[in-house]
Every structure is written in C-alpha cells, then in structure tokens.
C-alpha cells in the first residue's frame, strides 16, 4: 500500500486542516492518507509531541523530540516508509523534513505562510532537503516573495464547488436555521447583514472590524462564526467585552457570536448575508474567502496574501489595507445591502477547483516516486 503522510504543525482545526481534508476526501488514488499533527486533534491519525502551546520557546525542544518520535514510529512500524511520501504543511514544520532525510523519503513541502518572520526556520528546513527528492509548493503567490522562491509549485487553496454554490442552499434565513441562527432573528429594521468566519485569534482581526463598526451610522447585524481557542483565551475574553462596549453605544448594531458551526450552517449564512468580511491581519490563501465567492457573496477583505488575486474577477468586491479602521468603516458605511452576486465564471471556478488541485498534486506525487533526482 502506498502511503501519503500529511504533517500539520497544529492539531487544532484551521486552514491547513481544511486543505488536507479537502484533497484527501476528493482524491480517489487508492492510497492511504494519514494525518500527523503535533498534539491530538479532531482529524489526527498520529500525534506528535506539542510543547509550543505550553510555552512557545519550547519549540526549540519540540523539533528534536519530534524527529526522534517520527524515527521511532518508523522503526516500530506505525509509519511505513515503503512507497511513502511526506506531504509537509507549514514553513515551521521542520521535524518531518529531517526525519524524511534519514530514510530518503520524498517530500512535498507546502508553505502556507506569507510572514517573513519564519525565514530563519525556512533556511533550517532547506538544509534537510539537500540531495533529496522534493518539491516546494506555495498556497499563495505572496509566499514566493516572502521566501525568495523562484522554482516553487503553485498549489493554492481549493474548494468543492459542488457544495459551495447558491443552488445548494435552502434559503433558511429565519429562525428555522438551527436554533435561531438565521438572519431574520434580529430586531434591527433593514440592517446591513455582515458575516465573518474565523477562529477567535488576533490574526483574524475581529477587533479591527469592531472598531470600524463603532460609530456606525446605519443598522448592522454582524454574525461571527468561529471557535474560541484555548491558546488565545484572553484575546477572546477581551473581544467579547469590546463587542459589548460597541453594541451598548448603538441600538442599531447587533453583534452575535455563533461559535463553531458546521459547513452547512455556514453555507446558509453566506446565502443570506449582504457582505462577507475578511478583516484579517495576515492570510495566505484564505479558503473561507473562496467559499464566500463561490456562494456569490459580496466580499470586503483586507489586502493580505493573495486576496487581490482572488477578488480580481469582479470589481464590485472591496479591498482595504490591513488594520485600516477608517478605510473599512467608510466601505461599510457606503456598502449597498444588495442580494448575492451572480455565480463565478467557469475559468475562475476551474482555477480554484479541487479537481484541478488534486490532479496537480497527484502529478507531483508521481514525479517524486519515479525519479531519483533532486527537485526544487
């Protein structure tokens, strides 16, 4: 049996998890695909040691411990290296790179970050790739510039367009939607309906959006879908307090935290919103923005990662500079409360489709297996 081992640095649900589960569920290769994460999460098949979440400087110890743990799993038979490929997600995920070098396992190193803060870690990881069989891939064009890459493979995020399309919704915009989550549950008269989907951590920039809604001069209903993370509990607590402060000064503003919701509920909420907002401080290729686009949402997004590339198909979408509260406030003040936009054109759907992504990944897996030469 051929094995693909997907290594993810975090056990909590996030972008790389959605990326991996999407390509794993869509593919029909007859291969075994195993998810290996640091810490035990909802999609983890094999768990490695997680020390960063105890105290982030312990990452320095986490790396050698996890190299040793992977080697032990190989010797004990828990990880089978025969015809295996290590698909490693994240620039900081260097432990499996060094374990792969020990056994000569081909590697697809997939970068999901655009921050230059990880350049030193990237250089450490590259040392493990010397004289090996590997490809370096990026989920966003901005990753290439962040890490000065010239020969990387562009493997962006992709979504299932059969699921994420308006025709699949039930248009449950009333309290019928799973316990009163629908848009008609508010008491505001003709409000602008805004939706944000993202875990409650500083990177997602919800505090920026709340600041922009402060002193809002029109009725607004904002629904926030996202889980509270144990590692950012204080941020979430401050966020709840800030939201209450903003709401208390404006009777025409309603902010609702819906916490984690499954993708069916998210799809219904997207179908009923006037605009999807991405206020993030940093992103590479935000899959949730692709989902919103496929649902025909009018999108307002920070200029992070490949957002401009993703929104280029329609000039009606709005882009603002990351953290620019006044700019975002002006956009929201002048935004029309219009129905969802027409569907995406076929070329755009193909560019960001799972079918295309999986075909490219399968081709790379094939090249890694049949060649003994080095790739870059």
Cα 291 to chain centroid, rounded: 11
Question: What is the predicted pLDDT for the residue at 370?
Answer: 85
- Contact of 37 with 28, CB cutoff 8 Å: no
| pLDDT digit string, tens, across residues 259-316 | 999 999 999 999 999 999 999 999 999 999 999 999 999 999 999 999 999 998 888 8
CA angle at 283 for the pair 138 and 11, rounded to the nearest 5°: 80
Q: What is the percentage of the chain residues whose pLDDT exceeds 70?
A: 91
**Half-sphere exposure (CA, 13 Å, Cβ side) for 180?**
5
Burial class (CB in 10 A: 0-12, 13-18, 19+), 179: exposed
What distance in Å separates the CA atoms of residue 352 and residue 358, rounded to the nearest whole number? 11
Burial class (CB in 10 A: 0-12, 13-18, 19+), 190: exposed
What distance in Å separates the CA atoms of residue 142 and residue 234, rounded to the nearest whole number? 31
Domains and CATH numbers, the chain: 3-158+353-370 (3.40.50.2000), 166-349 (3.40.50.2000)
Question: What is the predicted pLDDT for the residue at 372?
Answer: 52
Question: What is the predicted pLDDT for the residue at 195?
Answer: 98
- Contact of 65 with 71, CB cutoff 8 Å: no
What distance in Å separates the CA atoms of residue 248 and residue 215, rounded to the nearest whole number? 11
Q: What is the pTM of this model?
A: 0.90
Q: Which residue has the tokens 């979430």?
A: 236
What distance in Å separates the CA atoms of residue 287 and residue 290, rounded to the nearest whole number? 5
pLDDT tens, residue order, the chain (376 aa): 689 999 999 998 888 999 999 998 887 666 789 999 999 999 999 999 999 988 989 999 999 999 999 999 999 999 999 999 999 999 999 999 999 999 999 999 999 999 999 999 999 999 999 989 999 999 999 999 999 998 899 999 999 888 998 888 865 444 445 556 778 755 667 899 999 999 999 999 999 999 999 988 899 999 999 999 888 899 999 999 999 999 998 889 999 999 999 999 999 999 999 999 999 999 999 999 999 999 999 999 999 999 999 998 888 899 999 999 999 999 999 998 877 666 666 666 777 889 999 999 999 999 998 865 444 4
């Amino acid at each position: 049996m051929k094995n693909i081992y997907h290594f993810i640095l975090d056990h909590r649900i996030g972008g790389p998890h959605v990326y991996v589960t999407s390509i794993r569920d869509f593919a029909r290769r007859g291969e075994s695909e195993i998810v290996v994460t640091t810490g035990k999460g909802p999609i983890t098949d094999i768990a490695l040691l997680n020390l960063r979440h105890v105290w982030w400087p312990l990452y320095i110890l986490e790396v050698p411990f996890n190299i040793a743990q992977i080697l032990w799993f190989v010797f004990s038979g828990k990880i089978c290296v025969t015809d295996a490929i290590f698909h490693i997600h994240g620039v900081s995920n260097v432990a499996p790179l060094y374990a792969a070098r020990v056994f000569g396992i081909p590697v697809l190193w997939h970068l999901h970050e655009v921050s230059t803060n990880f350049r030193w870690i990237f250089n450490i990881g590259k040392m493990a790739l010397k004289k090996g069989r590997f490809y370096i891939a990026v989920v966003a064009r901005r990753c290439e510039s962040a890490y000065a890459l010239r020969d990387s493979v562009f493997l962006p995020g992709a979504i299932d367009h059969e699921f994420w399309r308006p025709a699949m919704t039930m248009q449950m915009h009333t309290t019928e939607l799973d316990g009163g989550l629908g848009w008609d549950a508010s008491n505001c008269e003709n409000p602008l309906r805004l939706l944000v989907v993202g875990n409650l951590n500083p990177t997602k920039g919800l505090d920026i959006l709340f600041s922009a809604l402060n002193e809002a001069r029109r009725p607004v209903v904002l629904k926030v879908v996202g889980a509270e993370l144990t590692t950012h509990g204080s941020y979430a607590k401050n966020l709840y307090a800030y939201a209450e402060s903003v709401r208390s000064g404006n009777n025409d503003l309603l902010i609702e935290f819906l916490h984690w919701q499954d993708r069916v509920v998210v799809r219904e909420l997207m179908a009923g919103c006037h605009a999807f907002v991405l206020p993030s401080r940093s992103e590479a290729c935000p899959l949730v923005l692709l989902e919103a686009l496929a649902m025909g949402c009018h999108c307002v997004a920070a200029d992070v990662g490949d957002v401009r590339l993703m929104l280029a198909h329609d000039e009606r979408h709005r882009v603002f500079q990351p953290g620019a509260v006044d700019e975002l406030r002006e956009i929201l003040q002048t935004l029309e409360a219009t129905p969802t936009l027409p569907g995406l054109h076929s070329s755009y759907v193909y560019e960001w489709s799972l079918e295309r992504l999986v075909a490219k990944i399968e081709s790379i897996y094939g090249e890694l297996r049949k060649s003994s030469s080095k790739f870059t």
